[in-house]
A and B are shown apart, each in its own frame.
Chain A
Amino acid sequence: MAGERGYTDRELMVSAAAREIEDGDTAFVGMRLPLIAFQVAVSTHAPNAMAVYESGVVRDDPADGFLHTMCDLPNLDRAVSTTGMLDIMSRLQRGDIDVGFLGGAEIDRHGNLNTTRVRAGDREIRLPGSGGACDIACMANRTVILMAHESRRFVERVHYNTSPGHGTGGDWREANAVPGGGPVALVTSKASFGFDADGELYLRSVHPGVTVDEIRPDFPWELKTAEDVGIGEVTTTPEPTEEVLSLTRRFDPDGFWTQ
């Protein structure tokens, strides 16, 4: 719930994700929070952004009604285009998608993501699978990852690499013929991260009320920070503005995704 800060973790994640969409970008929007984040971005700093959805929807403005899924009728109503998956995926494969959004049950040091199967003790738990995530991870010019901040999700090496990030780091993507740019940001419910020149995750900012020391133990490796990679200090993630909060609550009036 919103609590004393006046906003929820997820509302802050929406705000941070929206800022990752630049004006003029074509964004590949998936499920859950990015459905809200695109609508916030195009209503504020990125009026010339476009959204594409693998279902075949192309939009340039917010939907007039809550979006539970990308195929909800408000997302199709007065869309720029409703077409098919190969049309959308072809734009991705041509290299025309500036930014794509991803999530995952597991993420590792180099931003590889697992949404297929995870280990829990001596058992394996089956998850839904890739959907379009593998395609977005391979081919978008840059990707932004959104995840709940839970230590079990941060692993040295993903159990199954559904959506390649920077592989084992360095020039791994080029060496493996993976064409897109890979992940540039991870936004969790506690902090925001970037990827350094070697493709390794580093702590960029902590959300208000969270400390760096609180974040470190959640990672099974020595987590780098902005300081370690030579780009200044770990900052505090900006709080969502009143405008962004009010838009978020307009697009998610019952708080289904963001409360």
Chain B
Amino acid sequence: MPREKRASMSEAIERIQPGDSVALGLALEHAIPFAAGHELIRQNTDELTLIGPISDILFDQLIGAGLVDRVRAAWVGNVSAGTGYRFREAVESGSLAVENHSNLSIALALQAGAMGVPYLPTRSLLGSDVFDESDLFVEAEDPFSGDRLALVPAIRPDWTVVHVQRANAYGDAHFWGNAGAMNPAVGAAENVIVVAEELVDPEVIKSDPSRVAITREQVAAVVECPYGAHPSPLTGRYNRDNEYYLRYHRSTDTRAAFDEWADKWVRGVDGRAGYLDVLGDPGNLDVSEPTVAAEVTYGR
């Protein structure tokens, strides 16, 4: 029997240690593991390095909670409103180190990690200050064509945390909808935490192996957490709660206001069920006009 890795959210997140590097929020605005991030805040796991292309407001929340020393990302803010006030204040006060990437450079760094190679080349970056003002990237000449390229060194996160539609207790997961940089981040990580909307029997996952985005090898824990990606959307399940992002923007412009927000939504609740109690019924976000995929047949 394969090893079962089912865990509660608090058990799973306890495994992440202060000082670890964590990739999350990888599918861009889609399927952001907010419930897992909020558990990091409750456990006060600090000195973290956060990795991701854009994070929408999850990085801003972790930074606001004082947990983050360093960010390796292409964009940090609030997609609905622009600025992430906690990120901005942390950078401007000098308490947060930022490694500026483009979306492609962060995806390539993770892909290099996933492939087990030290770097990957790109035709992006050269000519920009993302390249010129960074000591991370290196310009090199392609030994075959002589072309000038930028080399992007591999990133191997200690942890990648993802939110998916369904997984089994071994850590194999189905995911659908746009994936952003999730696949390279899972491949590059030392350990993976899978948060699933729903835990299902292993036979369900094996009935559709082409939909499997994550296999069990690196998975350290599997957590069932309905609505765990709210306020971000999850394909086939629930829509983005746009108003939540706008309210977050309006209510976190000062440190004191952020603390009030965090006390209400994170520190003052014992998990996602408590968060949903504060939110009220999110049922109006549920997918109301489902598109059912054509049946897929495997067999022998």
Q: Chain A residues in contact with chain B, CB under 8 A?
A: 31, 53-57, 68-73, 76-78, 82-86, 89, 92-93, 116, 123-135, 137-139, 160-164, 167, 172-173, 176-179
Contact = CB atoms under 8 A, between A and B. Distances in A.
B7 interface: no
A54 B240 contact: no
Given A54-B53, A56-B179, A69-B29, 18 more contacts: A31-B79, A54-B180, A56-B28, A71-B28, A72-B29, A84-B179, A86-B111, A92-B104, A126-B87, A126-B98, A129-B73, A130-B130, A131-B53, A131-B103, A134-B104, A137-B128, A138-B127, A164-B127
Interface string B47-67: 000000110000000000000
Contact of B129 (A70, A116, A133, A135): A116
Interface stretch (B118-126, B160-168, B189-197): B118-126
B43 interface: no
Contact of A73 (B80, B107, B287): B287
B254 interface: no
A161 B148 contact: no
Interface string B24-38: 000111100000000
A155 B260 CA distance: 39
A176 B129 CA distance: 12
A71 B75 contact: no
20 contacts: A56-B180, A71-B29, A73-B240, A82-B176, A82-B177, A82-B178, A124-B92, A126-B87, A127-B83, A129-B100, A130-B75, A130-B101, A131-B53, A133-B102, A134-B128, A134-B130, A137-B128, A139-B123, A161-B129, A167-B127
A69 B107 contact: no
Nearest to B55: A128
A161 B123 contact: no
Nearest to A123: B92
B181 A86 contact: yes
Contacts of A135: 102-104, 124
B28 A162 contact: no
Given A73-B287, A76-B177, A125 B124 contact: no
Interface of B: 27-30, 53-54, 73-77, 79-80, 82-84, 87-88, 91-92, 98, 100-104, 107-108, 111, 122-130, 132-133, 147-149, 176-184, 232-233, 235, 239-240, 242, 287, 291
Contacts of B129: 116, 160-162
Given A84-B182, A129-B74, A135-B104, A69 B80 contact: yes
Contacts of B108: 86
A177 B180 contact: no
Contacts of A53: 178
B139 to A, nearest CB: 8
B74 A132 contact: yes
Given A55-B27, A129-B73, A135-B102, A176 B53 contact: no
Nearest to A165: B127
A193 B170 CA distance: 57
B2 to A, nearest CB: 27
Contact of B123 (A76, A78, A138): A138
A164 B74 CA distance: 16
B125 to A, nearest CB: 7
Given A69-B80, A129-B74, A138 B181 contact: no
B180 A55 contact: yes
Contacts of B73: 129
Contacts of A173: 127
Given A85-B103, A162-B130, A138 B88 contact: no
A208 B127 CA distance: 36
A126 B91 contact: yes
A232 B28 CA distance: 44
Contacts of A161: 127-129, 132
B100 A116 contact: yes
B80 to A, nearest CB: 6
Contacts of B123: 93, 138-139, 177, 179
B242 A68 contact: yes
Contact of A93 (B76, B100, B122, B126): B122
Nearest to B54: A131
A128 B63 CA distance: 14
A70 B79 CA distance: 10
B30 A71 contact: yes
A148 B116 CA distance: 44
Nearest to B103: A132
Contacts of B177: 76, 82
Contacts of B75: 128-131
A49 B181 CA distance: 25
